[in-house]
Structure 1
Amino acid sequence: MGNALLAFALELAMLVFIGWWALALDLHLALRLLIAVASIGAVAVLWGAFASPKARFELPVYGVLAVKAVAFAAGALALWGVGLPVAAIAFAVLAASNTAVVTIVRTRPMAE
């Protein structure tokens, strides 16, 4: 339960970081908003279609892990892009660790 809650918090944080990065760009406000909405939307659709527990399209475990890696890397790179490299590394390590634990728990055979 705790790992699933942490996973959800990390997923939300990833989207926030991507939006924060887009809004911090040195562009016209309307363009920053467009980029923020488009990038958050793209990652959310990708996640919902392939990586969520109730994903629309079922991928093998390694496919789901690849999608999660791309999405969490985008969040970490977004943090790095707003000038927080230590936080980006910490986020990436925490996301990778939590994803590993959640994957092991979800794919472990049930005891009979």
Structure 2
Amino acid sequence: MNMVKGANLALMFLLELGVLAGAAIWGFTLDTNPILRVIAGIGAPAMFVVVWALFAAGGGKNARFPVTGCWRVAVEIAWFGGAAVLIGLAFTAVAGIAFFAVWAVNGALRLLWRQA
């Protein structure tokens, strides 16, 4: 069972990387001026990083303003939900929904197993 729990935490890390990749891909694939694409491709993931660092980094232990309980859930829903929207815009709605669904299952298991 410890192996499955460890795999769930590894999936959480991959989902966090997916947020950053999805935001960057969305920005770099915008149908606009190349300069704005570069700004969006770098700026969108940067904004996600700032939010995560302020409120949720390291399961809340390394965050500047750590949140717990329902506030942590709200931050995660906003963070991963925002990324799901950007993934849906960059690729397809199904891709965004699938990303959010994987996060939801991962989050439910982390709650069930009391993981950070």
Give the structure-2-normalised TM-score: 0.84
Asked whether 1:30 is paired with 2:35, we answer: yes
Structure 1 residues not aligned, in runs of 5+: 108-112
Equivalent residue in structure 1 for 2:102, among 88, 94, 98: 94
What is the letter of the counterpart of residue 24 of structure 1?
Answer: T
Q: Secondary structure at the match of 2:49?
A: helix
1:17-96 to structure 2, matched below 5 A, reads: 17-52=22-57, 53=59, 54-96=62-104
CA drift at 1:41: 0.8
Q: By how many angstroms is 1:10 displaced?
A: 0.5
- Which 4+ runs in 1 deviate beyond 4 A? none
CA RMSD of the aligned region, Å?
A: 1.7
CA distance in 2, matches of 1:48, 1:78: 20
- Give 1:88 deviation, angstroms: 1.2
TM-fit CA distance, 1:106:
2.9
Cα offset, 1:14, TM superposition: 1.1
Using the TM superposition, give the Cα deviation of residue 60 of structure 1 relative to its aligned residue in structure 2, in angstroms.
Answer: 2.5
Ranges in structure 2 where 5+ consecutive residues have no aligned partner: 1-5
Shift of 1:83: 3.4
How many residue pairs match? The answer is 108
Task: Provide TM-score, normalisation by structure 1.
Answer: 0.86
Match of 1:11 in 2: 16
Q: Deviations over 1:11-54 (max 9, x none)?
A: 10111011111111111111111112221111111112212213
Question: CA 1:100 to 1:55, structure 2 compared with 1: closer, same or farther past 3 Å?
Answer: farther
Residue identity over aligned pairs, in percent, reads 30
1: CA distance between counterparts of 2:17 and 2:91?
20
